[in-house]
Amino acid sequence: MYIQPTFADADAEYEESDFVIFGAPFDGTSSFRTGSRFAPDALRQASYNFETYSPELDIDITDIKVCDIGNLDMGCLVEDCINRVWTQTKQILKDGKIPIMMGGEHSLSIGCVGACTDIFEDVGVIVLDAHLDMRESYEGLDKGHASTSYQILKLIPPNRYSVVGVRSGSREEFEFVRSAGIKFVTSFKIKNEGVEQALGEIFDGLKDAGCKHLYISIDADVVDPAYAPGVGNPEPFGLSPWDVEYIIKKTRKMAVGLDVVELIPHYDFSQGAILFSKLIREFIAYAYVARGF
């Protein structure tokens, strides 16, 4: 019998865990390339590449209580899948733990954000994405992967939302975010100013909006295709892994959850799975140190 391995070093029991990883293998609305449903297992496999000791933080990830509860059963309808992710994420948050969702396509993040709004009144959201995802609907679907951020803005006020690393969207989407005053930082701005300077106004804005909790959604295509070619909609001129690492480090005290979505393992030589499984481990290590579990 084949037993699916858990994420490396995620062998705590659910009850005792501080971090809970789960997979949501659904890619039913993906338009250009499909296959992100295989990402959770690819991320798990790649996670065994790494040492447990972090020389940067001087901690061992085996000292952190992490549980991998496996993959959720996903149906065929995107609304059902979003609801299942929502229910699972809410349970984890209710139990005082930090959820880490491995997608699957980006629309699933709507469920994660929805669960956060059920638990935290003041939650803010940072989406890392090459795309605005602000379409009211796409290919007849209002909750497809191209409408994620539009749907997130139905759950939280615009001053508690930011999207980082953007470099693609329709004229209408950009007109919408500009006219609504929604904060977005392009990859070009990050390249020109450096990530710290470029994101200053984002963090100031979240502070002004009274956000004490923050949810982070990483669409894998935010990173340049040179580092992560296996994604649904590759878009050149992206962020470097260092930029994403900075954001994870910077938000470590406020972070209440994370997702990694849109990774398609079959379109690369596991660069994406290696990078994002490492970033998940970094997220766990930084949040653990910052919050002192």
CA 287 remoteness from chain centre: 15
Q: How many residues bind Mn ion (CB under 5 A)?
A: 7
Question: Rounded to the nearest whole angstrom, what is the least distance from the CB of residue 131 to Mn ion in the complex?
Answer: 4
DSSP per position, 113-175: HHHHHHH-TTEEEEEE-SB----S-BTTBSSSGGGHHHHHTTTS-GGGEEEEEE-B--HHHHH
**83: CB partners within 8 A, 6+ apart:** 111
Report d(CA 119, CA 104) in Å as an integer.
Answer: 23
Report d(CA 50, CA 205) in Å as an integer.
Answer: 36
**Phi/psi at 119 (5° precision):** -100, -40
Question: Rounded to the nearest whole angstrom, what is the least distance from the CB of residue 239 to Mn ion in the complex?
Answer: 12
- The answer to whether residue 259 forms part of the interface with Mn ion (CB under 5 A) is no
Cβ proximity to Mn ion, 27 vs 221, nearer residue: 221
Among 44, 90, 106, 167, binds Mn ion (CB under 5 A): 106
Question: Rounded to the nearest whole angstrom, what is the least distance from the CB of residue 108 to Mn ion in the complex?
Answer: 11
Report d(CA 214, CA 259) in Å as an integer.
Answer: 12
Judged by CB under 5 A, which stretch of 8-16, 77-85, 115-123, 213-221 contacts Mn ion?
213-221
- The answer to whether residue 68 forms part of the interface with Mn ion (CB under 5 A) is no
- The answer to whether residue 213 forms part of the interface with Mn ion (CB under 5 A) is no
Question: Rounded to the nearest whole angstrom, what is the least distance from the CB of residue 129 to Mn ion in the complex?
Answer: 4
Question: Rounded to the nearest whole angstrom, what is the least distance from the CB of residue 249 to Mn ion in the complex?
Answer: 22
Cβ proximity to Mn ion, 9 vs 219, nearer residue: 219
Report d(CA 98, CA 181) in Å as an integer.
Answer: 30
Establish whether the linkage from the previous residue to 230 is cis, with ω within 30° of 0: no
Write out the binding residues for Mn ion, residues 115-144 only, by CB under 5 A: 129-131, 133
Judged by CB under 5 A, which stretch of 12-20, 158-166, 217-225, 243-251 contacts Mn ion?
217-225
Write out the binding residues for Mn ion, residues 220-239 only, by CB under 5 A: 221
Interface positions with Mn ion (CB under 5 A) = 106, 129-131, 133, 219, 221
